[in-house]
Chains A and B, each alone.
Chain A
């Protein structure tokens, strides 16, 4: 398959099941909601070392938030509900509770009513002065803090999700690969229910499973490293000088399908004339996860 001179590899991205939730952070203005959200979703690129994968899904205008203030929706994913609960709680405690004028709400209903704590345990920071309020069947906590009160919903819902959707952009130069990634990310940000958790949404250090060093479970994806074309069993043709990856986590396979479609479409729109040569994907022979995203089927 070739789109605008860009070859789409007959391969698939391989993803795995995760648990996810959405939280809404509001503040006096969007800047302070964003400050808190960026801290909340910081150091959350890969579940391997960060314990979770998280990013800002989108900004919300006051009509979309529970308290009528500007807000930010964040998605956060982990391998299980227990791990997710730990990450949500520590991040909420250190990055939202601490952030001036912030309030924290659940942005999703749990599957079968399954919830994890959001502000349930943060309330103890109130040292006995915290106040519970049941409003509309949900429990909120009002925790006295130095700038007034921190308002947080007690729980947030947990849903089954999919992590690790991806595609690779192979280009003739590093600036051209990055430009294609930027175009793809810009288009993918408009798709709901997905995040691209790496810095700016882009990964330059794709990995393979295993390493020559026993202590490491993953190491550089040498088959896609352009400087190793003559040293290893390379996947790259002579004209490819840079490869970048976009990793996608989403609330469902369909959401990731859509994000991959618009992302690849945007990258291909730059075309071969801008140095974009191939679109490929990372998989581990079907051994890693049950979700397979076949590039040519998605782009058909």
Chain B
């Protein structure tokens, strides 16, 4: 069996909703049946066959070739299986996913892992704003799973995040961890302004101190050796990520905030 492959025929002017193209929805279908599936591209109803050249038969492993940042909702609600994307991915990658793995060999657009519940997303590139966040008007962002970004993220990473891990090997944009309810965001590179803005609970683990310092909304709780960090690094070591190569540390400076709210969040900075 070979991977079920969707090769984008040409770069489209309008965005394409790829949410029907997951293992859960394609299982048991032939290539011809898949090609006849209706998709939405902008205002135009099209079929999958109009957008993609389709080959292969193993829907447990789906490949997008020649992909573009116009392809939205890839891996929407998937529960298992694997999706590999060669090229960019659009918005809402892995939204609502509960299991399985998505790998992007390129960059992803906004709302990567939006409200995901489980599984893993690996971006071998950069990710846009609102990684692991909640949709506008919703209160819970991702509630499980892991998002690994080898590059940088945009603003509002982990906005309203409730559980799970976001690992950023590069830099995080402004408002990282904003309105975070719980969970863990770790950053190897730098972070933007307003780190942990309106954060309620959760952990922001930084490999280096923020260049612009810690916001006044976080109180310094001193330097500590925290027992849970070795467990966290042991978990990192299992991942295909730069985090697996970081020498584990448990000595950190702890800041608690955002004290403009309940102040139960924490920023841990490596010492």
Contact = CB atoms under 8 A, between A and B. Distances in A.
Interface of A: 66-68, 103, 129, 131-136, 140, 142, 148-151
B235 A142 contact: no
B225 A133 contact: no
Contacts of A66: 231, 234
B230 A67 contact: yes
Interface of B: 144, 163-164, 182-184, 201, 203, 224-228, 230-232, 234-235, 238, 264, 266
Report whether over half of chain B's contact residues are helix, strand or loop; otherwise say mixed.
mixed
A29 to B, nearest CB: 14
A129 B182 CA distance: 14
A67 B182 contact: no
A136 B234 CA distance: 9
Contacts of B201: 131
Contacts of A142: 226-228
B226 A149 contact: yes
Contact of B266 (A131, A132, A136): A131
A185 to B, nearest CB: 33
15 contacts: A68-B230, A68-B234, A131-B203, A132-B182, A133-B184, A133-B231, A134-B183, A140-B228, A140-B231, A148-B225, A148-B227, A149-B224, A149-B226, A149-B227, A151-B227
A182 B234 CA distance: 40
B99 to A, nearest CB: 12
Given A67-B230, A68-B230, A135 B225 contact: no
Contacts of A136: 231, 234-235, 238
A103 B235 CA distance: 18
Given A131-B201, A133-B184, A149-B224, A67 B231 contact: yes
B184 A67 contact: no
A140 B230 CA distance: 13
A151 B228 contact: yes
B118 to A, nearest CB: 10
A67 B225 CA distance: 12
A103 B227 contact: yes
Given A131-B266, A133-B203, A135-B235, A148 B224 contact: yes
Contacts of A133: 184, 203, 228, 231-232
A289 B225 CA distance: 49
Contacts of A67: 227, 230-231
A101 to B, nearest CB: 9
A224 B89 CA distance: 80
A148 B22 CA distance: 47
Nearest to B232: A135
